Structure 1
Amino acid sequence: MTTPPAAPDLPAVPALPAVPALPAVSDRPTASDLPTVPDLAPGTVLQLRQEDWRYGGHPLRLRVEQVRHDISHYYRDEWVWIVGERLDGTGLTQGRMEALVRVAALVGVVGPVTH
């Protein structure tokens, strides 16, 4: 059995300089500044302005089926996915959809009354 050749002596790697800490970003909201993602009851009808939801480009009426709390943290709790039924001006269903909604637009929303 032969012995492998000895590894050559390598020069020491110099230490990296310390990285300075980043300054605090004061213009971004902190977690305590953001509204809490509300727990909307199924059946709640949302009236959303064009700027309060993404990717639609128009106002939206949406009857809530589910609020996706499980993925809102990916949007820093500023936006939340809501699954529901799109409604026309008379309240007729226009099909099921998912909408990425601004949490601030949901503050104060009251759901359906149940007896």
Structure 2
Amino acid sequence: MTERQRLPNRREHEVFEFEHSGMRCRAGIGRFEDGRLAEVFLNIAKDGSAVDIHARDAAVAASLALQHGCEAETLRRALIRDGSGRASGILGAALDRIAVPEVRSP
């Protein structure tokens, strides 16, 4: 198992909102010093609902995977997609908005 790469206690945090499957979602992300995605936070407008809890749990698991060396693009591609290739879940939808530019940059 790869050792967890810890983040500084004080760090920049980017926030953006998006809609997925008719739900208003908010995502927050943090990055390692080299610009790689390091953590994801997700919240759904219906705070405390089952879907909000599932989204937050998925973000925690994704953050731990990223901090243990999983690349954002690997994680993004592993998540469920519909027949058109669109992310089926909230985490996948959020990663589509943040991970793709990271992969395409030189």
TM-score (structure 1 length as normaliser): 0.24
Higher helix share: 2
Q: Which has the higher strand share?
A: 1
Structure with the greater alpha carbon radius of gyration: 1
Question: TM-score of the superposition, structure 2-length normalised?
Answer: 0.25
